[in-house]
Amino acid sequence: MSVSPQLLPHEHTLSLKTEVLADVLTHVENILIIQDLDGVCMGLVKDPLTRVIDRNYVKATQVFDGHFYVLTNGEHIGDKGVNGIIERAFGNPAEVKAKGLYLPGLAGGGVQWQDRQGNVSHPGVSEAELEFLAEVPQRIKIRLRRFFEQKSIAAEIDNLDECIQASVLENKVSPSANLNTFYEQLRQYPEIYIDLQKDMQNLMQDVLQEAQVKGLGDSFFVHYAPNLGRDLQGQEILRPAQTQDSGTTDFQFMLQGAIKEAGVLAILNRYYSQRTGSYPLGEDFNVRQAPKMLEELLELVKANFDPKEMPLMIGVGDTVNSSVEDAQGKLTVRRGGSDRNFLQLIQRIGQELDTGNIIVYIDSSQGEVKNRKSVKIGQNETSGEEIIVLEGPGDVRDVDEPLTLNFVFHKGHQQYNEFFQKVARERKASDHR
């Protein structure tokens, strides 16, 4: 597939012509970049404590100050948060704070706000909810240990205590079980790994029921990453492990309303305040007040945000998938990925308001976590240029895929980091800040 250079940026589809995107980021003043983190600017790893971030990339984000925000299901704070990764990269937490090197934006799916100095708040979250969440990591540890004590394979797990420690994310607003380490340990025992997936799913349902008993029945939900989209009740669908595919590895116990697409509105609300002095949705607006459905979120934007001030939005993510199940000739499409909905909302805003919003996809399949479908690259027979020969990360049979990926970084986060640093230098030189 070859893309004509005459196309506008948002008209490109699965394009490798990142120079077109570079031109936008360099020369358009009113832009708003909303970007995921893991797999985008950092490689995917089995143990979150081993994540690293490029210091030059962090510095480059400052050039886009006021125009760049992160939106992640991970967290800013805690022993496995992104702030610690940045502090280790620079070796001096005081310097990071003084120079404003923390990444601004929303974490925990949208309930943890942070500015460049690392000041963190949790808009719309109650103390009772925080106290309940603080108990969840210990529940995960106990359940993991019990699971392996009941399996004869336990003795063959290398450093079980360390594996459990690596698998429990003691996040303040999104305590999680991450099974990447155990997936590697259980490569020869896929049926046990599948049982572990089911056990973690059952644990999360047990904890939801306990919250109900304590009067917090409307406070939480479970996010599965990666997933197979949502069912008719709006609950995320676990992605079972298959051959050479770990399926769902992250089981995140999260606050209701902490969905990335709602985070788009919270960031956009703050962005408008910076530019116009007023908040279209009110100064106290937070994701927990937002509707859940994409169409309702879109209507909220159309009703409250002045189109004349609307920025060109660039959504950047790596977790988008679709799969097609063929049962007796009947095709069932499952679309998922923790970045899908926020990217799709950004694209829809661009379509409805005619702003030409751009979707950027990072192929994170080269990381340690082998559950991503890689983008396949071939050559144009006429020009010899590289082109994408597989329809991105999804299933080629998903002909009605609603999300268009405009630009693709097929070599992963390192390629994106180098690109981002280059356009930051060019934008700084052009004085568009």
The span from the CA of 373 to the CA of 359, in Å, is 18
> Reduced to 3 states, what is the DSSP secondary structure of residue 107?
strand
Largest CA distance in the chain: 66
Radius of gyration of the chain (CA): 21
| Sign of the CA dihedral running 124, 126, 131, 136 | negative
Residues 239, 227 contacting (CB under 8 angstroms): yes
Q: What angle do CA 115, 116, 122 make, to 5 degrees?
A: 20
- Asked if residue 357 lies in contact with residue 312, where contact means CB atoms within 8 angstroms, the answer is yes
Kindly provide the b/e burial profile for residues 297-310, where b requires at least 16 CB atoms within 10 angstroms of the residue's own CB: bbebbeebbeeeeb
- For residues 354 and 405, what is the distance between their CA atoms, to the nearest angstrom? 17
Report residue 221 CA to chain centroid gap: 17
Neighbours of 330 (CB within 10 A): 7
pLDDT at 230: 87
pTM above 0.85, yes or no: yes
In our burial notation (b when 16+ CB lie closer than 10 A, e otherwise), range 151-176 reads: eeeeeebeebeebbebbbbbbbbbbb
pLDDT computed for residue 392 by the predictor:
61
User: What whole-number distance in Å separates Cα of residue 233 and Cα of residue 87?
Assistant: 41
Within 188-289, residue ranges assigned H as helices are: 190-213, 260-276
Alpha carbon 149 to its chain's center: 33
pLDDT in tens, 57-88: 999 999 999 999 999 999 999 988 999 999 99
Q: CA 388 from chain center: how many Å?
A: 23
What gap in Å lies between CA 360 and CA 413, rounded to an integer?
12
What are the per-10-residue average pLDDT scores of the chain (433 residues)? 65 94 96 97 88 97 98 94 97 96 97 97 97 97 94 78 92 95 89 95 97 96 90 89 87 95 98 97 97 96 97 96 76 85 97 96 80 74 73 71 93 97 96 59
Provide DSSP, 277-332.
Answer: SS-TT-TT--GGGS-SSHHHHHHHHHHHS-GGG--EEEEEES--EEEEEEETTEEE
At 336, phi and psi to the nearest 5?
-145, -160
Q: Is cis: bond before 93, omega within 30 of 0? A: no
Exposed (0-12), middle (13-18) or buried (19+): which is 371, by Cβ within 10 Å? buried
Give the pLDDT confidence score for residue 2 in this predicted structure.
39
Query: What is the distance between the alpha carbons of residues 131 and 126, in angstroms, rounded to a whole number?
Result: 9
* pLDDT tens-place string over residues 194-245: 999 999 999 999 999 999 999 999 999 999 988 888 888 888 999 998 877 8
Q: How far apart are CA 359 and CA 375, in angstroms?
A: 16
What does the alpha-carbon distance between residue 420 and residue 22 come to, in Å, rounded to a whole number?
Answer: 8
Look at the block and give the residue holding tokens 């607006």: 285
The H or E element that residue 185 is part of is: helix 180-185
CB distance 69 to 32 below 8 Å: yes
Tell me how far apart the alpha carbons of residues 161 and 306 are, in angstroms, rounded to a whole number: 54
Tokens of 228: 């197979």
